[in-house]
Structure formats: structure tokens, C-alpha cells
């Protein structure tokens, strides 16, 4: 949902520690309030932390619900920027979670998903543009705003589970990323700047034919199909004033976007009947349909003027009946339900010993 992951995590982490110096970690200072499960989180049961250390984000289930794919940065492990990993989900408390690299180890990757046959993965990567991690923007030039780079070397690839790339799915000039698949595994929805704006496209994986399905100025990204395949959901910014539109276009011309004001949108699977369903302000993102294909789960900081914490919320398909699901005082995001609807995976900086690490957690879901 998608390259936004790492940048939001890093931005939030620094911001949180600046405003909360009391949380600064020292090995000599015990942290007693860390936990994997807060008492108020009544929809979670049997929460388990799967990763320990670094920035681990965007963990998504395979179609059979037995594996996760996720992106990871950890300089301590010689992973300077996001690479793509897969791992089997433990079925017992004593079974370890053992990630294996599935990307090239070059450039930066993002937005991983399994194919329906369980034999391949799809992800975006900059490795054709160079082996090194692409440079991050100098935010001091933009008033220290939260700025996210749109690397024009991102393209989308299909690889087998040993990491061998078997097909390049996009090759347009510009940013191509944020891919997910339809429930039948036949269509890929993704975000691209190929036509001059951040728009959504749906591609037939067999034929390569595609259709652009959004046409409004603003960032459209992080899209998912509903479990029944009839609808799509995504995050969008909609600059309205002349000044907002001008700023958006100026940043876009530099390969940048400032996605701090986003709302949740839904449409039919072909892009028709598009409509905004949240109107909370600030950053409402990482949305996904719940297993019934009606309700929505998403991450948001709308309750907090300073921009943190980020919590998980659910709401009806029309934006009503808002409920807070997570109660962490930090960062909770990237929720996804298992195909059978019994489990939820999410990423959080809870239980990190006062560091800035973000890890992956899995839990049984309780209605």
C-alpha cells in the first residue's frame, strides 16, 4: 500500500521521538510499558510478534494463507533499504518465522504480493536503475514537509520463490509500483505516473492489456480488490484549491509527492462509481475491505493534530460506524485479513524496546 510504508514509518518515528523525548531508549533504562497486545484491543487474540529489529512493513498473505511477503530494511543485517522477503507463517508457538530473500538484493523494492498459484511473487523494484539504494529527498528544501520520492526507476516484476525474475510486467518511463491482484489472480491493479499523474491501472496478467481507471488530479494509490472481486478500494489525495493543485504538480514534476492528506475511496472493479467514503482529514490510508467485502479497515492519524499516533480503524462501506481497533500509542498500520478471515496481520512499532523498529504481528480476529 505501499512505498509510502517506509517513508511514513521513518517520518513518524523521528517525529514521535522529537515530541516524546521521554521515550528515547537507553540500554540502562528499562521500558516497562511495551506489549504485543493492549487490553483494549478486543478484536485481537493470540497476538504473536513475527519479526524483531529493523523496519518490517507491508506484510501480506499468500492466497492459501500459509505465507507472508513483506519488505524489510535493517542496516544491522546489511539491508540498507527495502528488500522483499517471504516466510511461512508458524503453525505452532515453537515454530520459528524464517524470512528468505526473494528480491535481487539490489536497488529498493516495495509492494509485494503472491500470485494465486503460490509459486511466484510480484513486486516493484528500482534495480534496473542501479545496484545502490536510490537517494532520499532533502526535506529541508521543502520546509521539512513529509515528502515521498516517486523513483522513476520503479518497475513491477514477477519472480519465482527462489528470487529468479521470470517476467517484467511494466516498462513505462516513470513510477510503476503498488501492485496487488484480484481474487482470481488474473488482474493486477497498480499505480503509475505514465500519463503524467499518479493514477490507477488494471492489467490483465495473461495478455498484458490494461486500462486506466482514475482520471482526477491527485495521488491515487495503494489499491486492493474486495474479496468478492466486485469492488476496489484505495487511498487518494484530492488537492482542490489553485495553490494546492499547483504545489502538487510542482512536486510531481520533481518526482515527489506529499501524501499527508489522504482519504479512502471505493469504486466498482472497473473504476466506475468512484466515491470518497472517509472525510476525517489528515492521513487515512492502507485501506482494505474486510472479509465480508462490505466493511473497511484502514490506518489513520486523524484524531491527533500533531500527526501521531497512527491507529487501525474499521468502518462501514459508506464511512459510518467508525471504530478504533488498535490502542498502541505509536504506529499501527498495513492491516490485512487472511483469506479465510480468521487472522489479521499488521505492522507496528509496539514492543520495540524504545527503539524505532517496526515489526510484523499476527493475531486471531475476534468479531
Confidence of residue 287 (pLDDT cuts 50, 70, 90): very high
pLDDT score of 24 more than 50: no
- Among candidate residues 154, 66, 55, the one with its CA nearest the CA of residue 103: 154
**511473487: which residue's cell?**
121
Per-residue pLDDT for 33 more than 70? no
Looking at residue 28, its pLDDT comes to 31
Pick the residue with more confidence: 312 or 9? 312
- Interval 297-323 mean pLDDT: 94
Q: What is the pLDDT of residue 331?
A: 94
Q: What percent of the chain has pLDDT over 70?
A: 91
d(CA 208, CA 186): 10
DSSP three-state, residue 121:
strand
Which tens digit of pLDDT belongs to each residue from 134-170? 999 998 888 888 889 999 999 999 999 999 999 999 9
- For the cut 70, the answer to whether the pLDDT of residue 31 exceeds it is no
- Taking 60 as the threshold, does the pLDDT of residue 11 lie above it? no
pLDDT of amino acid 157: 98
- Distance from C-alpha of 99 to C-alpha of 365, rounded to nearest angstrom: 24
What pLDDT is attached to residue 27? 30
Confidence (pLDDT) at 141: 87
Rounded mean pLDDT, 323-333: 94
Task: Report pLDDT for 6.
Answer: 52
Q: How confident is the model at residue 13 (pLDDT cuts 50, 70, 90)?
A: very low
At residue 357, does pLDDT exceed 90? yes
Residue 150, C-alpha cell as written in the block: 516517486
> Strand 44-49 relative to strand 55-61: parallel, antiparallel, unpaired?
unpaired
Residue 30's pLDDT is what? 34
What would the mean pLDDT of 280-306 be, rounded to a whole number? 95
pLDDT in tens, 117-132: 999 999 999 999 999 9
Q: To the nearest whole number, what is the mean pLDDT of the chain?
A: 91
Note the pLDDT of residue 21: 28
CB distance 298 to 313 below 8 Å: yes
Which positions ≥6 away from 164 have C-beta within 8 Å?
Answer: none
Residue pLDDT, tens place only, 80-98: 999 999 999 999 999 999 9
SS3 of 285, please?
A: strand
pLDDT at residue 36 in the model: 97
pLDDT at 104: 98
- CA–CA distance, 30 with 38 (Å, rounded to integer): 19
Q: Using the 8-state DSSP alphabet, how is residue 182 labeled?
A: -
Contact 144, 157 (CB under 8 A): no
pLDDT at 8: 52
pLDDT tens-digit readout, 35-61: 999 999 999 999 999 999 999 999 999
pTM over 0.85: yes
Q: Is the pLDDT of residue 5 over 60?
A: no
Amino acid at each position: 500500500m505501499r512505498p509510502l510504508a517506509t517513508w511514513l514509518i521513518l517520518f513518524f518515528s523521528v517525529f514521535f521521538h522529537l515530541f516524546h523525548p521521554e521515550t528515547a531508549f537507553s540500554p540502562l533504562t528499562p521500558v516497562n510499558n511495551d506489549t504485543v497486545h493492549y487490553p483494549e484491543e478486543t478484536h485481537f487474540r493470540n497476538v504473536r510478534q513475527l519479526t524483531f529489529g529493523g523496519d518490517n512493513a507491508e506484510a501480506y498473505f499468500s492466497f492459501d494463507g500459509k505465507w507472508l511477503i513483506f519488505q524489510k530494511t535493517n542496516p544491522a543485517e546489511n539491508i540498507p533499504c527495502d528488500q522483499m522477503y517471504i516466510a511461512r507463517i508458524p503453525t505452532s508457538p515453537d515454530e520459528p518465522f524464517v524470512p528468505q530473500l526473494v528480491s535481487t538484493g539490489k536497488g529498493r523494492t516495495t509492494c509485494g504480493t503472491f500470485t494465486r498459484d503460490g509459486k511466484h511473487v510480484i513486486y516493484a523494484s528500482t534495480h534496473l536503475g542501479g545496484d545502490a539504494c536510490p537517494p532520499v529527498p532533502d526535506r529541508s528544501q521543502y520546509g521539512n514537509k513529509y515528502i515521498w520520492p516517486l523513483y522513476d526507476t520503479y518497475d513491477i516484476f514477477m519472480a519465482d520463490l527462489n528470487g529468479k525474475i521470470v517476467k517484467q510486467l511494466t516498462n513505462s518511463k516513470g513510477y510503476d509500483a503498488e501492485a496487488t491482484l484480484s481474487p482470481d489472480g488474473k488482474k493486477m491493479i497498480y499505480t503509475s505516473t505514465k500519463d503524467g499523474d499518479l493514477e490507477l491501472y488494471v492489467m490483465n496478467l495473461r495478455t498484458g492489456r490494461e486500462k486506466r481507471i482514475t482520471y482526477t488530479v491527485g495521488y491515487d494509490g495503494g489499491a486492493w480488490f474486495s474479496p468478492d472481486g466486485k469492488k476496489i478500494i484505495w487511498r487518494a489525495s484530492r488537492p482542490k484549491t489553485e495553490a494546492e493543485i499547483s504545489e502538487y504538480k510542482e512536486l510531481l514534476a520533481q518526482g515527489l509527492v506529499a501524501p499527508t492528506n489522504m482519504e479512502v475511496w471505493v469504486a466498482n472493479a472497473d473504476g466506475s462509481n468512484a466515491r470518497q467514503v472517509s472525510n476525517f482529514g489528515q492521513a487515512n490510508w492502507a485501506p482494505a475491505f474486510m472479509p465480508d467485502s462490505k466493511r473497511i479497515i484502514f490506518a489513520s492519524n486523524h484524531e491527533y493534530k500533531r500527526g501521531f499516533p497512527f491507529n487501525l480503524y474499521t468502518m462501514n462501506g459508506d464511512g459510518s460506524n467508525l471504530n478504533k481497533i488498535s490502542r498502541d500509542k505509536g504506529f499501527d498500520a498495513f492491516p490485512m485479513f487472511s483469506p479465510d478471515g480468521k487472522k489479521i496481520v499488521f505492522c507496528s512499532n509496539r514492543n520495540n524496546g524504545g527503539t524505532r523498529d517496526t515489526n510484523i504481528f499476527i493475531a486471531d480476529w475476534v468479531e
